[in-house]
Amino acid sequence: MTDAVAVRVSATVANLGPGFDCLGLALDRHNEIIVERAPALLISAEGPGAQAVPTDGSNLVAQAIASVTGEVPFVRIHQRIAIPFGRGLGSSAAAIIGGLVAGRVLCDIALSDQDLLRFAVAIEGHADNVAPCLFGGVTATAGLQTVRIDPPAGLRVLMCVASEAMSTEAARAALSPRVSRADAVAGLAHTGVLVAALATGSTDVLLAATEDVLHQPSRFELMPATAAVVRALRDRGIAAFLSGAGPSVAAFVEEAAADAAAEFARSIVQPGWDVRVARIDPSGARAEVR
C-alpha cells in the first residue's frame, strides 16, 4: 500500500455565463494536497485562508477520502492553498477532488475517474466545478454524463478576482425558483452556441454566446461591484461573465488581445481586486506517489 501521495488540483470557473450548473473549465492555478499515513487524523494548511481550514472530520478533503474508503482513515493531510475561498474559483471542488484522488491512490482502490465524479457530485451537489477539476479542459455535464472539450489553443481566461468573499449559499439563495419559457429558451440557445464555439474554435461568437439571463441578473443585485465589472468588459466587446457564483469575474480573451484586456480590467476594478490572464489547464487532477 502507498504511504504518501501528493495531488495537484486546479482552480475552476463554473457556468461560463449561460451554462448554469453544467459547464466549467480548469485554470492553471493549483492547490497541492499531501496525504500520508499517520497514527491519527492530522490536518494542516498553508496559504490564503489557511486559518479557516477545518482540522477535524468536517474537512472536505477528509470527507472525500472517507467517501472512497468508507471511513476517515488515520492520515496526515496538508493543504498548500493557492485558490482563494469564496471567490467563485472552485476551492471546495479542489478539496473534494484532491481527497478523492488521494484516497484512491493511498488505499489502492480500483475506482475509475467516472466513479470519482459520482462521489464528487454526491458531496458537491452538481458537477460544474468538480468535472473540470478532475478531467481538465472545458467540460459539459448532464447528470454524470460528461464531455470534455479541448478549447482553441489561443484562448485565454481573463480573471478579475474579487477582494472580498461571497458564500455560494447566499448567491444560490438569490435565484428565483421559477424561470420563464423565454429565459429558458435563451439559456439553452446561448449554452448550445457556447459549447459549439469552444469545440470548433469559433471564438468570434463568444461575446454573444456567454450572455446569460438565468442566474446572473439576480446575483448581480447582491454584488453591484461585480455587475459593474462584467458590464464594462462586455461593453468593451470582451466576453465576460460571473466566475461561478461570484463575486469574481472571468472572461474569454484571445491571447493577442489578453494584455490589453487585462490593462483595461485593472482600470475599472475596485482596489484589492487581482487581475491576471490565465490559461485553461488541460491536465486535470494529477497524483504523485511519495
Instruction: Kindly give the residue spans of alpha helices, DSSP state H, lying in 84-239.
Output: 91-106, 113-124, 130-135, 168-173, 181-200, 206-209, 216-220, 224-235
List phi, psi (to 5°) of 273. -75, 145
CATH number at 17 reads 3.30.230.10
Number of domain units in the chain: 2
- Do 83 and 172 lie in one domain? The reply is no
Tell me what the pLDDT averaged over the chain comes to. Answer: 95
Residue showing cell 440557445? 189
* SS3 of residue 263 by DSSP: helix
Helix (H) or strand (E) holding 261: helix 255-268
Judge contact between 163 and 84, C-beta under 8 A: no
- Do 36 and 139 lie in one domain? The reply is yes
Residues 6+ apart with CB under 8 A from 207: 234, 237, 238, 239
- Do 143 and 219 lie in one domain? The reply is no
Which cell goes with 94? 479542489
**pLDDT tens for each residue of 5-26:** 999 999 999 999 999 999 999 9
- Do 140 and 187 lie in one domain? The reply is no
pLDDT > 90? residue 177 = no
How many whole angstroms separate alpha carbon 94 and alpha carbon 87?
13
pLDDT > 80? residue 48 = yes
Domain that holds residue 240: 155-278
- Do 109 and 182 lie in one domain? The reply is no
**pLDDT tens for each residue of 1-10:** 689 999 999 9
> Terminal CA-to-CA distance of the chain, rounded, Å?
12
- Do 216 and 126 lie in one domain? The reply is no
pLDDT of 261 reads 98
How many whole angstroms separate alpha carbon 35 and alpha carbon 38?
9
pLDDT > 80? residue 38 = yes
- Do 9 and 136 lie in one domain? The reply is yes
pLDDT of 289 reads 94
- Do 23 and 75 lie in one domain? The reply is yes
pLDDT of 273 reads 98
- Do 213 and 94 lie in one domain? The reply is no
Judge contact between 288 and 34, C-beta under 8 A: no
- Do 180 and 85 lie in one domain? The reply is no
How many whole angstroms separate alpha carbon 241 and alpha carbon 15?
9
Percent of the chain residues topping a pLDDT of 70: 100
- Do 129 and 271 lie in one domain? The reply is no
- Do 124 and 61 lie in one domain? The reply is yes
pLDDT of 1 reads 63
CATH number at 192 reads 3.30.70.890
